[in-house]
Amino acid sequence: MSVLTRDEAQTRAQLIDVSRYTIALDLTTGDETFGSRTVIRFTTRADADTFVEIKPAQLHSVTLDGQPLDPETLDGNRLPLKNLTTGEHELRVEATMRYSRTGEGMHRFTDPSDGETYVYTQLFMDDVQRVFAAFDQPDLKSVFELSVQAPDGWKVLANGVTEHTGDGVWTAAPTPLISTYLVAVAAGPWHSVTTEHRGLPFGIHCRRSLAPYLDADADELFEITRQCYDRYHEKFSEPYPFDSYDQAFVPEFNAGAMENPGLVTFRDEFVYRSAVTDTERQTRAMVIAHEMAHMWFGDLVTLRWWDDIWLNESFAEYMGYQTLTEATRFTDTWTDFGVVRKGWGYDADQRPSTHPVAPEAVHDTASALLNFDGISYAKGASALRQLVAWLGEKDFLAGINTHFERHRFGNATLADFIDSLAAHTDRDVHAWADAWLRTTGVDTLTPRVTPGTDGTCTLQVERTGSRPHHITVGLYDLDIADERRRLVLRERIAVDVPQSEPQPIGKRPALLLLNDGDLSYAKVRFDPESFEGVRTALSGLPEPLSRAVVWNALRDAVRDGELPGTAYLETARTHLPYETDLALVQGVLSFADAQIANRYLTPEQRPAALTLVAALCRDLIRRTEDGDHPGLRLIAVRHLIEVSAHPEPIASWLADGTVPGGPELDQELRWRILSRLAVLGATDEATIDAELERDPSATGQEGAARCRAALPNPEAKARAWEAMFGGDDLSNYLLTATAQGFWQPEQAELVQQYVPRFYADAVAVAARRGPAIADVLGRWAFPVHAVDEETLRLGEECLRDGEPIPALRRKLVDQLDDLGRALRVRQQTRES
C-alpha cells in the first residue's frame, strides 16, 4: 500500500476541491465484510490526472461522470482518475470492505459476556480508506452525508444526529466541512444515557454488558462534560460548531480517545467495572476535556498537513488540563501532568527518535504517525504553558480566538497561528516559536548559589541547552519544630533564563527549587545544600506540584546516572509514607518498581529493591487502616501485589475475597493477584479457567490470556509465543495481554531462548498486520527485562538488516535507546 506524501497532497489540494461525500454502508452482510458505496462530488481547477484512495476486499464498480472505469486499475490503495477536465465531477465507488480486529478502520467486536456485536470506526491518518473511497488528506475538507444499513436491534451513531428511517436504515445529518479522518460511525445494540445542555443533545453510550457501570457514573460524566463545555464557551468566541455531542465508550480501542466531531470515541476501560482512585477519575475527566478542546483545535480548525499535529494535540493537552483545573472539582491536575505526562515528554525528547514539536516537514503519512508521542502531547503542552506564562493569558486567548475566526472550518499552519498571536502582543512570538517549537532536546537548569560577605546569597541559573525560560524559583526554609522536618516557603521569585546578572535571594535557603510550579519544560538539578534539604525534608514541602518537580528531578537524575537508584528508593521509603497526593504516590511507586528494580538495578540487587518497595506499600496500607484514604490504600495494595516475591499473603487474599481491613477484591484485583501468582508458579491452568468462568467478560478474557502467558513452564510459553507470532487471530487487546504476561524478570532463564527470536518474528507480524499491531509488539512484546549487551546487539542488527515497517522501527529505536541507558546506569552503579 502506498503512503501519501506531503508533495502529493499539496499537488492534489491545488488541483481539486471536494464538496460532498454521500456514503452508504451495509453492516448486514456477514461477520467478515461490509458493503460500502460512495459518491464523491468534486471540482478540478485544471485538466489533469489524480487518484482516490480505497483499500477494499473487493472493488465492484467505479463510475466517473457516468462512465465506468475498470476496477482492475486499482493499484494497491490508489484508484487512478485519468484525463480529468476542468470543472465539476461525480465519482461513484462500490466495494466490499473488511472488518478489522486491530482497532483500525471498521473494528468489529463480539462481547463474550452476552454475544452482542459492535462495530466502530477509527479512521485516523489514512484508515478512512478501509471504510470508503476518499481523497484522504486533512486539507480536502468536505460535507459528509452518511446512511447505514444495520441489523435489527442496533443503534447507529455518527458525527451528526442520526434517525432510523425504516427497514434498518439509519441516516445521519450532513456534517459541516470536516476532514476525512474525522468521519465516525459506531453501530450496535448500545446502552445509551441522554440529556440536553443549552439546547444541545448530549449522549453517553457503551456496550450493554457495561450498562450498570455507565449508569453509576452517568451523573459524573455529564457534569464534567457540561462544566468543560461551559468553560470553553467562556474562553472561545466561536461557539461549539456541531449539532450534538455524543461520547461512545467502545471496545478494544487503541488510543485513549478520538476527537471525531459530534461523536467522540473512548476506550471503554473508562467505564469502570472495579474500584478506581480519584486520580484515575481525574484522568478520565482530563480525556473528556482534551477531546472536547479538539472540537475547536483540530475539528473546526484543522492542520493543513501532519507536520502541524501539535496544533491539534498540544493545544488539546494544554486546554484539557487547564480547563479541568478551572471548571471542575479536579483542581490539582497539573500535578498529575507533572508526574505522568512530563516524564513521557522528557524521555521521548532524549531518544534518537526525537523531533521538534513542530517539524519543518513530515514527508509522508507513515512518518507522521510516528510523531504522536510524548513530544507532540506533553512537550507541546509544556511549551504552551510556558508561552502563557511569558505572554499572559489574556493575549494568548485573544490570539487563539483570532485564529478561530480566520480559519473556521478550514485549515491552518504554524505560521498562521503565530501570526494570529502576534496580532495581540508586542513580544517576538516568531522568535519564541523558533526557540521552542523548531528545536529538539531537553534543557537542564542548575542553580549556582554564591554567598556574599554580608550573609546573603545570589543565584545564577546555569543552562545546558538553548531555550529561554521564564521560571519561578522557590526559596524554602527548614522548620524542625516537631519530629518531622518541614519546608516553609519564604518566597517565590521570577527568573528569566539566561540571566543578565545574578539574582539576590537573601540568606541561604534550605531548599532552592528551580521551576517551582512547573511552568517550564526543563530538567532541574539541585545544589548540594538543596539536595540535603530534599533528602531530609521532601515530604514536608507544602504543595504537591512542588513535590512533583522534586520527584521528577530525582527521577531524571537516576536516568542520567547521577543518582543511584538505591538512593531514590531510600528517599521514597523515607518520604512516601507521608505523601497525600495520589498521582505522586502512583508515579513514584511505578518508577521504583518498573524502572529501578526491574531495569536499572542488577538482578542481584533486585530482590532487596522489591523488598523495600513491599515494605513501603505495607506502611501505606497500615497508614490507611482507618478507611479515610481508600484511593491511597488501593494504590498500595496494587503495588504490593506486583512486587510480592512469595505467594503469601496475596494467595490468602484471593481465597478470602478481601484484603484484611479492605478493600474487598473486585474483579480487577482478583486478576491482578492471579497474574502475580502465575508468575510465581503458585497457580495453574485450572484455576485460571475457573476465574474466567467467574468473569467471562472481555476484560476476563484478557486477564486469562495474561495469566496463561505468565505461567513459568515451557509449554505455556510456547503456546503464548505461537499465539502472538504464529498466527493473526489475536485481537489488538488479546495480543497486548498475552505479551504483558510473557516476559517476567523472575523467568529470565526460562524465556532466554525467545529473546533472539523476538526481532525476526515481530518484523514478520508487523509487516502482515500493520501499524497498530506493530505498536503493540514494540511496546509490550519487547523483552524489556533482558538488560544485556546481546539483546542490544540483536536489536541494532534488526534495525540495520531486518527491514521493520516504520511503526515497528520507531518502537525498536526507542526500546533499544532505553536499553542502552539502563546498561549505562548499571555500569555507573557498579563503578560507584
User: Annotated active-site positions, please?
Assistant: 291
Residue 657: burial class (beta carbons within 10 Å; 0-12, 13-18, 19+): exposed
Q: Which helix (H) or strand (E) holds 163?
A: strand 162-166
509: which DSSP letter?
P
Residue 235 sits at the vertex; the CA angle it makes with 232 and 236, to the nearest 5 degrees, is 80
CA distance 674 to 691: 9
Contact 134, 165 (CB under 8 A): no
Taking the CA atoms of 676, 678, 682 and 688 in sequence, report the sign of the dihedral they define. positive
Going from the C-alpha of 218 to that of each of 175, 222, 244, 735, 743, the distances in angstroms are 27, 6, 17, 31, 38
Q: Is the peptide bond before 498 cis (omega within 30 degrees of 0)?
A: yes
Q: Give the three-state DSSP class for 560.
A: coil
C-alpha distances (whole Å) from 156 to each of 85, 87, 107, 172 are: 38, 35, 14, 9
Question: Can you give the three-state secondary structure of 375-401, one letter per residue?
Answer: HHHHHHHHHHHHHHHHHCHHHHHHHHH
C-alpha to C-alpha distance for 268 and 736, rounded to whole angstroms: 16
* All cell numbers assigned to 575: 518520604
Q: How far is CA 190 from CA 194, 430, 627, in A?
A: 12, 48, 37
Closest CA to 701 of 109, 69, 26: 109
Contact 334, 325 (CB under 8 A): yes
Residue 512's beta-bridge partner residues? Answer: 475
> What is d(CA 616, CA 639) in angstroms, rounded to the nearest whole number?
10
List of residues 6+ apart from 312 with CB closer than 8 A: 259, 294, 297, 298, 302, 303
Distant-in-sequence, close-in-space partners of 715: CB < 8 Å, separation ≥ 6: none
CA angle, 84 then 85 then 91, to 5°: 50
Residue written as grid cell 443549552? 198
Helical residues (DSSP H) of 520-563, grouped into ranges:
528-537, 544-559
All three cell numbers of 129: 480508506
Is the peptide bond prior to 649 cis by the omega test (within 30 degrees of 0)? yes
Are 371 and 362 contacting, i.e. CB atoms less than 8 angstroms apart?
yes
User: CB–CB of 106/55 below 8 Å?
Assistant: no
Which amino acid would we find at residue 120?
Y
Contact 300, 404 (CB under 8 A): yes
Q: How far apart, in whole angstroms, are the C-alpha atoms of residue 521 and residue 345?
A: 9
Q: 49 phi and psi, to 5 degrees? A: -105, 150
The greatest distance separating any two alpha carbons of the chain, rounded to the nearest whole angstrom, comes to 92
Closest by Cα among 610, 462, 603 to 526: 462
